[in-house]
Structure 1
Amino acid sequence: MFLICGEALYDVFPSAETETGFTFDARIGGSPFNVAIGLSRLGREAALFTGLSSDPLGRRLERTLKDEGVDTSYLVSKQNPTTLALVGLGAKGVPHYSFYGHEAADRSVGEADLPELSSSLAAVHFGSYSLVVEPTGSSFLELARRSRDAALISFDPNIRLNVEPDVGRWHQRVEAFSEMADLIKVSDEDLETLFPGDGVDSAISRWNSRGVRLIVVTRGSEGALVSLRGEVFEAPGRSVEVVDTVGAGDSFQAALLCGLDELGKATKAGLSEVSPDECRRVVDFAMGAAAVTCARRGADLPRRPDLPSI
């Protein structure tokens, strides 16, 4: 099973102006929430660990997880409200977010909320703004420390400066997680934000030296740059008519973990044994999943029949 750690929220799209204001289209989301659902849709066992509000929005999030087949036993009920992310779409469907989540449930996970991890967990994934908001960020870092010897640790920074504008804070927390990660998926934009002028090669080299076995730098339509245990290669992108790119990175992440699992390599030992050819096939599989999501509105991730075999 995969344990996915991070936020659960609503992406709110302004759909039309009215005489009295706006109408909105609220879509369930949050990067880790999407990854958990994405894995379940791809036929993998997944659970979500987050703080979830007891308000109607939170109960709807939990119902969606159950409907999607995601294990909800790791959810922590909170009285705090549910985060809302107002989404504006820019050029080429690229989203811009405004977050409304001060003291929200997904930011309120304390160390006392940390679960006892099941022996059936093969991998634990961490991602997005939950890594830097407190107390959730510090709690997740402690969970990564506790689980690093037994489970594969996967990590996607997915930086949101409109949640935490201090780049130094992001830098510190990303480097702390990279000390424990076996797999890092990161966008080229996030790398430029974290290490301006430092170069992709420098970040890859530094993370490789810390023992990160697989690093995938996504570059949108240009594909990805991949480092498998220090061996670097490029993976081509996909041509697709983009509706928007909301959830594309989450779809890529879910499919990356799914692909490794289908090959029996989504473990610490497995990631040390995966071959370059297998890695290329898994990354291509993840590219295909992201392309499917880009052709749909919002974070509508593919199901296993939507994608070819690896």
Structure 2
Amino acid sequence: MITVIGESLVDIITDPRRPQEVQAHAGGSPLNVAVGAARLGLAANLVTHYADDRYGLMIEEHLLANGVTVLRGGSAPTSTATATLNPDGAATYAFDIGWDINGASLPALAAVEGSVHVHTGSIAAVLAPGDQATLALVKAARQHATISYDPNCRPGISPDAAAARSQAELFVAASDVVKASDEDLAWLYPDRSPEESLLAWLDLGPSIAALTRGADGPVLLTRQLRVELAAEAVTVADTVGAGDSFMAGLISGLAQLDALGAPARSRLRDITEGELHALAAYANRAAAITCSRPGANPPTSAELGSLTGSLTASEG
């Protein structure tokens, strides 16, 4: 069992290449990670908020259809994000969002204490009042679970970079695996390179740090190792949800390596170069499949295969 903590929302997608088509999809980075993990065979909880309105029902149908167990708090209307696609398929966002899981604290605590891994990030880690509840759940989970975190920065939601940086570092220090995009790190730490920022994050406590760089491919770092891969060649429909699929791939890959759960922290710290390479390839492939089709539509385990194939290739 894994538990993801964070926002659910509806992505309203407009594409200047097809202006007559406006699409609405259930989304939100944590929701996408939970769905991606469930499609890759993990039993996934999502601690989140949405209302009993039209968009909330869309989210609930999507989660239930993908086998995600929902623990829902808060009372605000369902959040939305309007994504406008650029000609290259990349998205820019405008938000109407709130984040509060009041009322779900006890079932959420039970969920994280019963999980081998807990993931959070994005808006849930910075937007009051739910950010403090999210951090408290992560800290409570550490005794039983490994932790992962992706800041997935949204300057439109949290425009104060210094405050976002301080908040991010609280979550990094509580995490075993961190993942960030080059855009996230350029905004949080404009005076140093993304890899320098990830190395500094490793000094705060995590065992693995992953950098996604869009078409330039990912880099995975530990204190001893560095693995860099080219992005897989695909025809890009759009990039919505690609980083979340990468994150779900990392979690699934680590599960296949028996590297999740508090007792596995030493296993995570001692990951080999071949295993790290296989993990990067597996997550990279998950992101590529998502980019090849519209919206946040992560792959299933049947589409992605197992980490074993990537591990065999890396060792060969």
Task: Give the TM-score of the pair, scaled to structure 2.
Answer: 0.89
* Aligned partner of 1:186 among 180, 183, 187: 180
Shift of 1:31: 0.7
2:311 paired residue number:
none
In terms of mean alpha carbon deviation, does 135-144 or 60-69 score higher? Answer: 60-69
2:96 paired residue number:
100
2:210 maps to 1:224: no
What is the distance in 2 between the residues matched to 1:54 and 1:192? 38
2:268 paired residue number:
271
Change (3 A) 1:112 1:28: closer
* Aligned partner of 2:79 among 62, 72, 83: 83
Q: Would you say the 8 A contact 1:53–1:80 is kept in 2? A: yes
Please tell me the residue identity of whatever aligns with 1:8: S
2:34 maps to 1:36: yes
What is the distance in 2 between the residues matched to 1:7 and 1:236? 31
Q: Could you list the structure 1 runs, at least 4 aligned residues long, displaced by more than 3 angstroms after superposition.
A: none
What is the distance in 2 between the residues matched to 1:256 and 1:53? 30
2:46 paired residue number:
48
Structure 1 vs Structure 2 CA RMSD = 2.0
Deviations 1:65-107 (A, max 9, x none): 11111112x222x431011111101141110001112xx3xx1
Deviations 1:96-132 (A, max 9, x none): 001112xx3xx12248725223454111001111111
Change (3 A) 1:201 1:138: same
Structure 1: gaps of 5 or more residues: none
Q: Would you say the 8 A contact 1:123–1:152 is kept in 2? A: yes
* Aligned partner of 1:26 among 24, 27, 33: 24
1:248 paired residue number:
242
What is the distance in 1 between the residues matched to 2:286 and 2:15? 26
Q: Would you say the 8 A contact 1:205–1:230 is kept in 2? A: no
Shift of 1:185: 0.6
What is the distance in 2 between the residues matched to 1:242 and 1:82? 29
Structure 2: gaps of 5 or more residues: 308-316
Task: For residue 92 of structure 1, give the secondary structure of its aligned residue in structure 2.
Answer: coil
Q: Would you say the 8 A contact 1:54–1:80 is kept in 2? A: no
More strand by share: 1
1:289 paired residue number:
286
1:161 paired residue number:
155
What is the distance in 2 between the residues matched to 1:11 and 1:39? 20
Shift of 1:263: 1.9
In terms of mean alpha carbon deviation, does 225-234 or 143-152 score higher? Answer: 225-234
What is the distance in 2 between the residues matched to 1:56 and 1:215? 38
1:109 paired residue number:
101
What is the distance in 2 between the residues matched to 1:30 and 1:177? 19
2:123 maps to 1:126: no
Deviations 1:220-243 (A, max 9, x none): 121112112442231222111111
Q: Would you say the 8 A contact 2:219–2:280 is kept in 1? A: no
Q: Would you say the 8 A contact 1:15–1:25 is kept in 2? A: no
State, as a whole percentage, how many aligned pairs show the same letter. 34
Change (3 A) 1:200 1:60: closer
How many aligned positions are there? Answer: 301
What is the distance in 2 between the residues matched to 1:111 and 1:141? 16
Q: Would you say the 8 A contact 2:176–2:205 is kept in 1? A: yes
* Aligned partner of 2:61 among 57, 60, 63: 63
Please tell me the residue identity of whatever aligns with 2:35: I
